[in-house]
Structures are given as structure tokens and as C-alpha cells.
Structure 1
Amino acid sequence: MPKITYVDHAGTARTVEADVGSTVMEAAIRNNVPGIDAECGGACACATCHVYVDAEWVDAVGPAEPMEQDMLDFASDVRATSRLCCQIRIKPELDGLTVITPARQG
């Protein structure tokens, strides 16, 4: 199972195992990772699962689709590496992925 590391805004890291085919958001919710609110349950209808993809993983994760880009307009402190983690599907190549949660969601 791929491992995903979530680093909160204070620098605390939590590494969890994620099922291939699930999303980075689903893995966070299943493992009670703080900082991922996921109010819409992964429907790309809010911005409460906003994360920053670690720079070394940006190419592997790929770019946001247009609908996700539109929803990022509702996120706080959007950066070039911002993504909604409900839209990042876990695949074996993402083993070791690191994402950072913002200081606040939405």
C-alpha cells in the first residue's frame, strides 16, 4: 500500500497507508488526519480538503482539472502547488507522497 505523509501547518507529520484507487482525502479521513475537513465528502464542491503538494511530487500528481481549479478560488492562501486532495487519486507511483495542510481551510 502506498504511504502518504500529511504535514500540518505547524510541521507535524503523519504518515498513513492508502488504498490504491482511493483519494488522498479519503485516506486522510479514514485515518483522522487533522486539517482535512472534506465538507462535501469528495465531490469537488468545496475547498475544505485544500493541500499543498510537496514540490518534489508536483509532476507525479499532475495538474488540477478545470473544475478543481474553479473550486480552488474558494480556498485560503492558494499557491502554485495547491490541490484539492479529493481529486488526487492514489496510485502505486505516489508511494511517499507528501502534502501540507494550510493553516485554515475554506
Structure 2
Amino acid sequence: MPKVHWILPNGDRVSDDVNENSNLMDAAQMNGIAGIDGECGGCLSCATCHVVVDDAWLALCPPMGEVENAMLDIVSSPRQSGSRLSCQLAASPVLDGIVLHVPQ
């Protein structure tokens, strides 16, 4: 199982093994990660699952689609170069060990 690390706004780290192909928004919610609300349930219509992918992992993530790119313009925290919607990322061997920063 791929491991995912969430860095919370206060600097705390939460790590967990996530089933392969699992949506990282769902994984965050199952781990009680505050700030990953996923109000739309992962339908790519709310931008409440915003994370910032650590620079070391960004190139390994799948390409961002047009809708995700547009949705990132309405996130409540400032958009950053590594901003992604966690509903659009899935656990995989390539992303084993990924570090996701949870914005304020």
C-alpha cells in the first residue's frame, strides 16, 4: 500500500497507508485531516479538498485537467504552484510516500 503524508498547517504530520487507486481526498477524510472537506464528494465541483503537493512530488503527479485548474482559482487559501485538488489524486506506487501540505 502506498503511504501518504499530510503536513497540517501547524506543522504536525499525519501518515497512513492508503489502498492503491484510492482517492486522496477520501483517504484524508478517513484520517480526520481537518481542512479537507470534500463537500462535493469528489465530483470536482467545490475545491474544498485543496492541498499543496510538496515540490519533490509534483512532477510525479498526473497532469492537471482544465476543470481542476479552473477550480483552483476559487480555493479559500491562496493558490500555489503545487496546488491540487486531492479528489483528483489517487494513491499509487509512483506516489508512495507523497507529501501533501494542508493549507490554512
TM-score w.r.t. length of structure 1: 0.92
Q: Which runs of 5+ in 1 are unaligned?
A: none
Letter in 1 for 2:61: V
Letter in 2 for 1:17: D
- Distance, in Å, in 2 between the alignment partners of 1:41 and 1:62 is 20
Helix, strand or coil at the partner of 1:5: strand
Letter in 2 for 1:83: R
Q: Which residue of 1 aligns with 2:48?
A: 48
TM-score w.r.t. length of structure 2: 0.94
Tell me whether 83-92 or 25-34 shows the greater mean CA deviation.
Answer: 25-34
Q: Which residue of 1 aligns with 2:95?
A: 94
The number of residues matched between the two structures is: 103
C-alpha displacement of 1:6: 0.4
C-alpha displacement of 1:2: 0.6
C-alpha displacement of 1:63: 2.9
Q: Which residue of 2 aligns with 1:25?
A: 25
- Distance, in Å, in 2 between the alignment partners of 1:56 and 1:25 is 20
* Residue identity (%): 40
Kept in 2, the 8 Å contact 1:49–1:86? The answer is yes
- Distance, in Å, in 2 between the alignment partners of 1:13 and 1:45 is 27
- Distance, in Å, in 2 between the alignment partners of 1:64 and 1:35 is 21
Q: Which residue of 2 aligns with 1:3?
A: 3
- Distance, in Å, in 1 between the alignment partners of 2:83 and 2:98 is 14
Q: Which runs of 5+ in 2 are unaligned?
A: none
> What value does the CA root-mean-square deviation take over the aligned residues?
0.9
C-alpha displacement of 1:62: 3.1
